[in-house]
Amino acid sequence: MAKLAINVDHVATLRQARGGTEPDPVAAAAIAELAGADGIIVHLREDRRHIQDRDLKLLRHTVKTRLNMEMAATDEMVAIALSLKPEVCTLVPEKRQELTTEGGLDVRMNLQVIEKAVARLQEAGIAVSLFIDPDPDQIKASNKIGADYVEIHTGSFAEAKDWKTEEQELIKIENSIKLASKLGMGVNAGHGLNYANIKKVAALGGIEEFNIGHSIISRAVFTGLDRAVRDMVDLIKYA
Ligand code: PXP
């Protein structure tokens, strides 16, 4: 069965709205783990708009499953990762003005910078995942520079406006899973996945871990986080 890792950035977004101390993403991570999450993800952005260095340091001590640090492939972020040693680092593109991560990494066009970051992290025993669009050229480039995992960007599938586009995007995801697996990389997937669309992607098989944030934290406002995590775990289990 595919695993579920929860992105708790949005809990930090709410805290930062008031600049205070609550809600605490560290507490959210503990509740998510108790409800069955297999991992916790945080994106330490260059502008620190949600997750703070303090959160990541505390999570390193408290997370009992796997800590996945999403980050840009910059010297600053690599240095932080090397000091905290999360189990996984997911390299993502980062633009200051974006509301959320908008597209996959262009591994082909930034081969040397990404390859250097991957090597430095792996030398420290950290597994590296590259967040990429479901594009065969990006998958081959990721394999060429030795990535342990690719995380397939499911945003275009999730945002498809009609069933035909959705179907086409799903086929791209399916082909990407097959290619990445054939090349020997682990396959994760995420972005825009929710309680309505998860089943179609989970039913494809071959995905090791789903990385989900917004839909679960949104539902948690109404149902509580424990229930929101359990409901998603069930959907993945029975897909
Ligand atoms: N995976 C990556 C690499 C992301 O950047 C994000 C968004 O922070 C997610 C997964 C989770 O996306 P969502 O919040 O839409 O579930």
State how far the Cα of 193 lies from the Cα of 43, in Å rounded to an integer: 17
Per the structure block, which two tokens stand in for 131? 């967040």
* Ligand 1 pocket test, candidate residues 10, 68, 150, 211, most atoms within 8 A of CB: 211
d(Cα 51, Cα 117) in Å, to the nearest integer?
Answer: 21
- In this prediction the pTM is 0.96
Q: How many CB atoms lie within 10 A of CB 40?
A: 26
Range of the domain at 140: 3-237
CA of 61 to the centre of ligand 1 (A): 23
Strands of the chain (E only): list them: 3-7, 39-43, 67-71, 88-91, 127-132, 149-153, 186-190, 209-212
Atom of ligand 1 nearest to the CA of 211: 10
Tokens 């600049």 found at: 19
Token pair belonging to 175: 């082909």
Q: Please report, for the domain that includes residue 96, its CATH number.
A: 3.20.20.70
- Tens of pLDDT, residue by residue over 45-76, are 999 999 999 999 999 999 999 999 999 999 99
Q: What pLDDT, on a 0 to 100 scale, did the predictor assign at position 99?
A: 66
| Mean pLDDT, residues 32-48 | 97
- pLDDT class of 239 with cuts at 50, 70, 90: confident
Residues 6+ apart with CB under 8 A from 235: 195, 198, 199, 202
| Residue 173: per-residue pLDDT | 98
What's the pLDDT at 96?
59
Name the more confident of 128 and 1. 128
Active site residues per annotation: 43, 70, 191
| Alpha-carbon separation of residue 23 from 15, 51, 77, 197, 218 (angstroms) | 5, 12, 25, 28, 14
DSSP per residue over 5-69, as a string?
A: EEE-HHHHHHHHHHTSS-S-HHHHHHHHHHTT-SEEEEE--TT-SS--HHHHHHHHHH-SS-EEE
- The conformation of residue 147, written as its DSSP 8-state character, comes to -
pLDDT of residue 98: 64
* CA 180–ligand 1 middle distance (angstroms): 20
Confidence of residue 94 (pLDDT cuts 50, 70, 90): confident
Ligand 1 proximal residues by C-beta, below 6 Å? 7, 9, 43, 70, 90, 92, 100-101, 131, 151, 190-193, 211-215
Average pLDDT over residues 7-25: 97
Query: Could you identify the residue written with the tokens 């494809």?
Result: 204
As given in the structure block, the two tokens for residue 22 are: 């609550």
- Report pLDDT digits (tens) over 108-133: 999 999 999 999 999 999 999 999 99
**pLDDT above 90 coverage of the chain, percent:** 95
In sequence order, the 6+-apart residues with CB closer than 8 A to the CB of 69 are 41, 42, 43, 44, 56, 80, 81, 84, 86, 88, 89, 90
Q: How confident is the model at residue 100 (pLDDT cuts 50, 70, 90)?
A: low
Average pLDDT in the chain? 96
Q: What is the pLDDT of residues 166-208, one digit of tens each?
A: 999 999 999 999 999 999 999 999 999 999 999 999 999 999 9
In 10 A of CB 208, how many CB atoms? 17
For 95-99, 163-167, 169-173, which range has the lowest pLDDT when averaged over its residues?
A: 95-99
Decide if 101 contacts 131 (C-beta within 8 A): yes
In angstroms, the CA 156 to CA 97 distance is 20
Q: Specify which of 92-96, 98-102, 140-144 reaches the highest per-range mean pLDDT.
A: 140-144
Count how many domains the chain has.
Answer: 1
Say what the pLDDT of residue 164 is.
98
